[in-house]
A and B are shown apart, each in its own frame.
Chain A
Amino acid sequence: MSFHLIVLVKQVPDTSGPGFTAALNQDGTINRKILPAVINREDLYALEGALEIKDRFPGVSVTLLSMGPPSALAALKEGLCRGADRGILVTGQALAGSDTLATSYVLYCALKRLEPFDLVFCGLKSSDGDTAQVGPELAERLGINHLASVSEIEDGAAGFPRRLTLRRTQDTREERIEAALPLLLSFNDRGREVRPVKARRALGLRKAEGLPGGGEGPLWIWEPRDIGADEALCGAAGSPTRVISSRPAAGVSRKALMIGETDEALAAMAGELRRDRLLG
């Protein structure tokens, strides 16, 4: 038996590194050019979920799918070096300016071409967009179930390929859910640590280039026409969202609470934070 898992990845600017402050524009937007580009953090947790299934069951292949500029091939290559089998970038001028609706449309078209598949994995949200909409929209378009905020696949994915037990964590609660495949799972970053890039694979793939349309290599490039996408529904043309303005909205502290430097006072504060689920 062969099984096909698809992981959606997005390349985003690395806002976790030391260069972040320098890259922050006055209006609160980010100067992407001066930050290194990385795979969106939550997408890595999604990839790890898929690779854990691949580790356990023979015949599982993992395809990475991304929509973005040609530079996003680097993110796909990194995903391949962590253990995925194939990476496909959907790119083209017509895709520029896509909102979540246009993005989910293009990914839907690509997924239709990739059928059959058993599971779709993605990050809950991207660090640069922060909408958490693409996953649910895509599940709706595909007509399959969607579970958000998944942190782990439990019980060694024992029910695969029919059912999975998943742990879902949110700020104040944790759930164990059993769900039937096919499924779209969107992962948060509270699961198992992501496996590192494999050195031998990274060296072996150092010269791999994207093959237009597909072919023998592991990196493919598709344009909208390759997936039968209607350009009127792609990019800015297919995006009803309009950003009218944006401004920084950093939190302002209005009240400061002084506590003593005793163990008791610190323990009381820690207890309060734990009760409020801000800690632990």
Chain B
Amino acid sequence: MKNYFLDNPDIQFHLKHQDLDRMIRWHEDDFAEFPAYPQAPENEGDAREGYALVLSLVGELCARCLGPKAGEVDQQGTLLKDNEVIFPAPTQRAWELFAQAELLGFSLPRKYGGLHFPATILCMAQEMIARGDPSFLNFGLQQDIALAINKFASEEQKEDCLPRLARGEWDASMILTEPEAGSDLQAVSLRAVQDDRGQWRLNGVKRFITNGCGKLALVLARSEPEAPGGRGLSFFLYRREEGMTIRRLEHKMGIRGTATCELQFNQAPAELLGERKRGLTKYTIWLLNCARLGIAAQGIGIAEAAWREARTYAEKRIQFGRPIGEFPAVYEMLARMQVELEAGRSLLYTASRCVDLSEALESYLEKHPEQKPGLIDEKKKYGNYASFLTPLVKAYASEMANRAASAAVQVHGGSGYMKEFAVERLFRDARVTNIYEGTTQMQVAAALRGLLSGTAELLLDELDGGDYPHAPELPPKIRRARQIFQEAFALAKEKGDDRQFLSFHARRLSEMAGELIMAYLLLGDAHSGPDKLKIASLFIAGLEPRIRFLAELVKEEGEAFLENRLF
């Protein structure tokens, strides 16, 4: 039986080799739920075994109900009828199977019927799902929304919503974007007003809402008309019953198995979630960071699927009497795909581990305040790493997925341009990953803050201090490349942002930092043996030229584009 977990040694590698033990201990509150819950782990090794067990179930479901049906789902797309969305039959069936398999409460606490798995394990599930069908977004969406409710809602709201989300009785959506408020969510204008009885009512239009038909939604709305920008926005819990019309479904380039809705709210009853005025500044930012990690995992999954399709095709397709994969030009595409994919995966699971450490320590220290003196600095450090690495990996993985899907089409030649081959769909599906949940341009702006705050340097110092006896020739190469980056970064900082110099080069600067971090991570992975050492060596072989190229652009091109404006 096919299984996307068991057939993927690289995911298994990260489950085994990522340093998860401390995180698991804090996440499980020193294993306090064992044995009250028979499914709770009693130690770190037991937790890892449980993760592997469930990931194997996810891998089997993905291989059985997503991968083989993705083409059919893409062809059918979603339909709107009588204010209800009709999903392609295989998508509906997959949702039922995920619910039957008790996977929809993947991240939720056990007391609400969840599995209480950390973000790292969720990302592993999400990348397998995306490998099967990138349009099956509702699983990840369910987790993000359930987690936000678990973190910020009242106990009464949690008890009402979370068991239903875990059982799959309700599906969910986060309703943020508006026609005039896309990347700039401070411009949100959908109104939330309290009626005479104190009931909040929502009025206005939302757009590009993934699964806007969901039974439960988190809605960003303007509750304080007099307060400008983000400070006037609050978060609302909306149970879909009355007052909301799905005006239309978007006709999309890819991920056609998901419903992207335009919604009209008309006196829709809603409940305030958390505190007023914190809708954007606290809750949406937190929720978007969860979602961004999920999109990074989606990018990795798409790249995995594209690489596998291309590898298989290149082995079977014979031209000039040989499989085309044997020709250097094709081999290069396949090899680069693999190196970039494994680099992205290392970055993803490092980012997710930092998110987990930060979140686990936050809840652990709430329960054990006496431990604060020893752990609060770690909490802060991992929080900073998470804030920096999340946009960085979202940008890298989504751009890499686009490159991989494009290369996979190229390996297929003319066939890849045809609907009969999966790579044509993957190419379209990949295209949204560097747009939604914040474009790459927004991500690099966020990552730039991590560069300017010194977080990136701190992380690079920590990585540089690692022990790499298995490849002593490689760290000096990374250090040389880092020196080149530091010079370019110093110049950019000197120029500042008065004339938008830093913003203009944000992408190049964060790309350089990402490359250096991935070089160290792959070097660390190479502890495990020759296969990973080969990947690290290949990645690092071209590191200095890539960094030098980007640095030269920062230094030499400098302000040219800013000074000589074309329009």
Q: Is B102 an interface residue (CB 8 A)?
A: yes
**Bitwise interface map of A from 14 to 42 toward B, beta carbon under 8 Å scored 1, else 0:** 10111000000000000000001010000
Q: Is B39 an interface residue (CB 8 A)?
A: yes
Given contacts A203-B39, A203-B50, A204-B39, contact A197 B57 (CB under 8 A): yes
A196 CA to B94 CA, complexed, in Å:
11
Given contacts A204-B38, A206-B49, contact A199 B1 (CB under 8 A): no
Q: Are B61 and A196 in contact (CB under 8 A)?
A: yes
Q: Are B49 and A198 in contact (CB under 8 A)?
A: no
Q: Is B249 an interface residue (CB 8 A)?
A: no
A196 / chain B contacts, CB cutoff of 8 Å: 57, 60-61, 97, 100-101
Q: Are A198 and B53 in contact (CB under 8 A)?
A: no
Q: Is B124 an interface residue (CB 8 A)?
A: no
Q: Are A14 and B1 in contact (CB under 8 A)?
A: yes
Q: Is A195 an interface residue (CB 8 A)?
A: yes
**Bitwise interface map of B from 73 to 107 toward A, beta carbon under 8 Å scored 1, else 0:** 00000000000000000000100010011110000
Q: Is A255 an interface residue (CB 8 A)?
A: no
B2 / chain A contacts, CB cutoff of 8 Å: 17-18
Which single residue of chain B is at the shortest CB-CB distance from A205?
Answer: B38
A177 CA to B217 CA, complexed, in Å:
48
Q: Is B115 an interface residue (CB 8 A)?
A: yes
CB contact list, B102-138 vs A, under 8 A? 102-103, 113, 115
**Bitwise interface map of B from 10 to 40 toward A, beta carbon under 8 Å scored 1, else 0:** 0000000000000000000000000001110
Q: Is A202 an interface residue (CB 8 A)?
A: yes
Which single residue of chain A is at the shortest CB-CB distance from B113?
Answer: A200
Cross-interface CB contact of B102 among A16, A18, A200, cutoff 8 Å? A200
Q: Is B506 an interface residue (CB 8 A)?
A: no
A18 / chain B contacts, CB cutoff of 8 Å: 2, 7
Q: Is B523 an interface residue (CB 8 A)?
A: no
Q: Are A198 and B101 in contact (CB under 8 A)?
A: yes
- Tell me the smallest distance from the CB of B68 to a CB of chain A, in Å: 13
Q: Are A197 and B1 in contact (CB under 8 A)?
A: no
A206 CA to B93 CA, complexed, in Å:
27
**Bitwise interface map of A from 169 to 204 toward B, beta carbon under 8 Å scored 1, else 0:** 000000000000000000000000101111111111
B1 / chain A contacts, CB cutoff of 8 Å: 14, 16-17, 36, 38
Q: Are B38 and A199 in contact (CB under 8 A)?
A: no
Most buried by A among B1, B2, B61, B101: B101
A121 CA to B317 CA, complexed, in Å:
47
Q: Are B100 and A206 in contact (CB under 8 A)?
A: no
B7 / chain A contacts, CB cutoff of 8 Å: 18
Residues of A in contact (CB 8 Å), total: 19
- Tell me the smallest distance from the CB of A58 to a CB of chain B, in Å: 20
B53 / chain A contacts, CB cutoff of 8 Å: 202-203, 206
Q: Are B103 and A199 in contact (CB under 8 A)?
A: yes
Given contacts A14-B1, A18-B2, A206-B50, contact A198 B102 (CB under 8 A): yes
Which single residue of chain B is at the shortest CB-CB distance from A36?
Answer: B1
A116 CA to B189 CA, complexed, in Å:
67
A195 / chain B contacts, CB cutoff of 8 Å: 97, 100
Q: Is B213 an interface residue (CB 8 A)?
A: no
- Tell me the smallest distance from the CB of B40 to a CB of chain A, in Å: 8
- Tell me the smallest distance from the CB of A40 to a CB of chain B, in Å: 13
Q: Are A198 and B39 in contact (CB under 8 A)?
A: no
Which single residue of chain A is at the shortest CB-CB distance from B166?
Answer: A200
B445 / chain A contacts, CB cutoff of 8 Å: none
A200 CA to B110 CA, complexed, in Å:
9
A198 CA to B101 CA, complexed, in Å:
4
A202 / chain B contacts, CB cutoff of 8 Å: 53-54, 57
Which single residue of chain B is at the shortest CB-CB distance from A16?
Answer: B1
Residues of B in contact (CB 8 Å), total: 21
A196 CA to B1 CA, complexed, in Å:
13
A17 CA to B4 CA, complexed, in Å:
12
- Tell me the smallest distance from the CB of A195 to a CB of chain B, in Å: 5
- Tell me the smallest distance from the CB of A93 to a CB of chain B, in Å: 31
A197 CA to B64 CA, complexed, in Å:
13
Which single residue of chain B is at the shortest CB-CB distance from A196?
Answer: B101
- Tell me the smallest distance from the CB of B55 to a CB of chain A, in Å: 10
B103 / chain A contacts, CB cutoff of 8 Å: 199
A16 CA to B1 CA, complexed, in Å:
6
- Tell me the smallest distance from the CB of B154 to a CB of chain A, in Å: 26
B97 / chain A contacts, CB cutoff of 8 Å: 195-196
A198 CA to B103 CA, complexed, in Å:
8
Q: Are A199 and B49 in contact (CB under 8 A)?
A: no
A36 / chain B contacts, CB cutoff of 8 Å: 1
- Tell me the smallest distance from the CB of A4 to a CB of chain B, in Å: 24
- Tell me the smallest distance from the CB of A61 to a CB of chain B, in Å: 19
A95 CA to B125 CA, complexed, in Å:
42
A203 CA to B56 CA, complexed, in Å:
12
A14 / chain B contacts, CB cutoff of 8 Å: 1
- Tell me the smallest distance from the CB of A49 to a CB of chain B, in Å: 16
- Tell me the smallest distance from the CB of A174 to a CB of chain B, in Å: 23
Which single residue of chain B is at the shortest CB-CB distance from A203?
Answer: B39
A195 CA to B54 CA, complexed, in Å:
15
Q: Are A199 and B61 in contact (CB under 8 A)?
A: no
B49 / chain A contacts, CB cutoff of 8 Å: 206
- Tell me the smallest distance from the CB of B9 to a CB of chain A, in Å: 14
CB contact list, A70-117 vs B, under 8 A? none
- Tell me the smallest distance from the CB of A128 to a CB of chain B, in Å: 15
A223 CA to B404 CA, complexed, in Å:
56
- Tell me the smallest distance from the CB of A21 to a CB of chain B, in Å: 15
Q: Are B54 and A203 in contact (CB under 8 A)?
A: yes
Which single residue of chain B is at the shortest CB-CB distance from A204?
Answer: B38
A202 CA to B103 CA, complexed, in Å:
11
- Tell me the smallest distance from the CB of A92 to a CB of chain B, in Å: 29
A204 CA to B102 CA, complexed, in Å:
12
Which single residue of chain B is at the shortest CB-CB distance from A200?
Answer: B102
**Bitwise interface map of B from 156 to 172 toward A, beta carbon under 8 Å scored 1, else 0:** 00000000000000000
B115 / chain A contacts, CB cutoff of 8 Å: 199-200, 203
Cross-interface CB contact of A197 among B39, B50, B101, cutoff 8 Å? B101
CB contact list, A189-241 vs B, under 8 A? 193, 195-206
- Tell me the smallest distance from the CB of A11 to a CB of chain B, in Å: 14
A195 CA to B103 CA, complexed, in Å:
13
B60 / chain A contacts, CB cutoff of 8 Å: 196
Q: Are B100 and A198 in contact (CB under 8 A)?
A: yes
- Tell me the smallest distance from the CB of B105 to a CB of chain A, in Å: 8
A272 CA to B206 CA, complexed, in Å:
53
A203 / chain B contacts, CB cutoff of 8 Å: 38-39, 50, 53-54, 115
A51 CA to B50 CA, complexed, in Å:
25
Which single residue of chain A is at the shortest CB-CB distance from B105?
Answer: A200
A198 / chain B contacts, CB cutoff of 8 Å: 100-102
Which single residue of chain A is at the shortest CB-CB distance from B51?
Answer: A203
A16 CA to B4 CA, complexed, in Å:
15
- Tell me the smallest distance from the CB of B324 to a CB of chain A, in Å: 22
A201 CA to B53 CA, complexed, in Å:
11
- Tell me the smallest distance from the CB of A51 to a CB of chain B, in Å: 11
**Bitwise interface map of B from 294 to 325 toward A, beta carbon under 8 Å scored 1, else 0:** 00000000000000000000000000000000
Q: Could you pull out 26 A-B pairs where Cβ atoms are within 8 angstroms?
A: A14-B1, A16-B1, A18-B7, A195-B97, A195-B100, A196-B60, A196-B61, A196-B100, A197-B101, A198-B100, A199-B54, A199-B101, A199-B102, A199-B103, A200-B102, A200-B113, A200-B115, A202-B53, A203-B38, A203-B39, A203-B50, A203-B54, A203-B115, A204-B38, A204-B39, A206-B49
4 smallest beta-carbon distances between A and B, as pairs: A203-B39, A204-B38, A196-B101, A199-B102
Known: A195-B100, A199-B54, A199-B57; 14 extra A-B contacts, CB below 8 A, are: A17-B1, A17-B2, A193-B93, A196-B60, A196-B101, A197-B57, A197-B101, A199-B102, A199-B103, A200-B39, A200-B115, A203-B53, A204-B37, A205-B38
